[in-house]
Homo-oligomer: A and B are copies of this chain.
Amino acid sequence: MALVERSLLGPGPSNTYPEATAGLAAPLLGHLDPDFLAMLDETGNRLRAVWGTENLRTLPLSGTGSIGMEAAFVNFVRPGDVVVVAVNGLFGERMCDVADRYGAEVVRVDHPWGQPVDVQRVLDAHPSPALVAAVHAETSTGARSDLKHLGTALRERDERTLLLADCVTSIGGEEIALDDWGVDIAYAGTQKCLGVAPGLAPFTVSERAWQRRVERPTTWYLDLGLIGNYVTGGSSGGRAYHHTAPTAMVASLHAGLGRILDEGMPAVAARHREAGAALQDGLREMGLELFASEGHRLSQLTSVVVPEGVNSGDVRKRLLTDYDIEIGGGAGQYANSVWRIGLMGHNARLDRVEMLLGALKRVLGR
């Protein structure tokens, strides 16, 4: 049967960097092979570079992006802990669900979707929460929040509160400085701006957060103490087997990150900005309205209001069947009234912009 080749211009996964594809198909290594362990160490170094952190505990978890969210709450929240969650889209909503399952006293700070997080409202929500959680780049709406502002304000107020950030859609697409911003715990996914297939969740923890982790969390698979003994070595210095690491995916992530760092993170970020601006200009020229709040729009993921009288699903279906182009519908209540168009990683290119604009113009008859 013929293989289908799509242009993945939705909210992720996106088409992978050629280096990442080659990494996936390279001869498989065992999870205890010294060559694999060296590659895993280097993957940690590369993640530190794109994330702007010196955190020793920086590693890819063996699951898709959402497993990073789960790992954060199960390892750092105890029943009864006050957790303030800034909710400005689907992934903030999900954080509330996950935190609640682990017994947190969740304080929601709701925002209209498409808006960035209001730092002052988050601060005002509780005087001394154990944890504040926010999404850097909301995949569901295409809005960016100012983590630097939030982190700085939290550190100034209180040395106790930890800051947790969802970086699923920001990592590898824009410059991030977790340490400067005061982020303690962050997770991400591989399938968006890192240009790697879905299947790993990059994760990082600061030393001060590490000291406050739950000693024996309910989860075995995501027990960071056990995983840490494999990834960074145990107290005796040796590496203890935990679970079989997804070695092909790690090799692919290693290669994708290598490609990004060869190009240089500032150049990669500029490429995303340029592609995003060209797309957003083109959409406006077609008379379409952008959904996320101006001044807070992501370059890597653009949300567009579906014009009145247009059936969202029909357009997406025609793009897929006639042009092999995938774009996303909206999330939650915006499922049929918003489209999401991603230009992430390898797709942050002007050729993709023209392809998409041309196809969309034909389909909409504009």
Residues of A within 8 A of B (CB): 3-6, 8, 10, 12-13, 15-16, 21-22, 24-31, 33-35, 62-67, 69-70, 74, 94, 97-98, 101-102, 189, 191, 197-199, 216-221, 243-249, 320, 326
Contacts and interface: CB of A to CB of B under 8 A. Distances in A.
Contact of A199 (B4, B10, B35, B249): B249
Contacts of A220: 66, 69-70, 94, 97-98, 101
B3 A101 contact: no
A243 B30 CA distance: 27
Question: Which 5 pairs from chain A and chain B are nearest by CB?
Answer: A199-B246, A197-B248, A25-B25, A66-B243, A5-B27
A16 to B, nearest CB: 6
B30 A8 contact: yes
A71 to B, nearest CB: 9
A61 to B, nearest CB: 9
The interface residues of chain A, by DSSP majority, are classed as: loop
A333 B33 CA distance: 21
Nearest to A24: B24
Given A198-B244, A216-B101, A63 B62 contact: yes
16 contacts: A5-B27, A6-B29, A33-B320, A62-B63, A63-B221, A64-B243, A64-B245, A64-B246, A70-B219, A74-B218, A98-B220, A101-B218, A101-B219, A197-B248, A198-B245, A246-B249
Most buried by B among A29, A35, A220, A246: A220
B199 A199 contact: yes
Contact of A326 (B24, B30, B66): B30
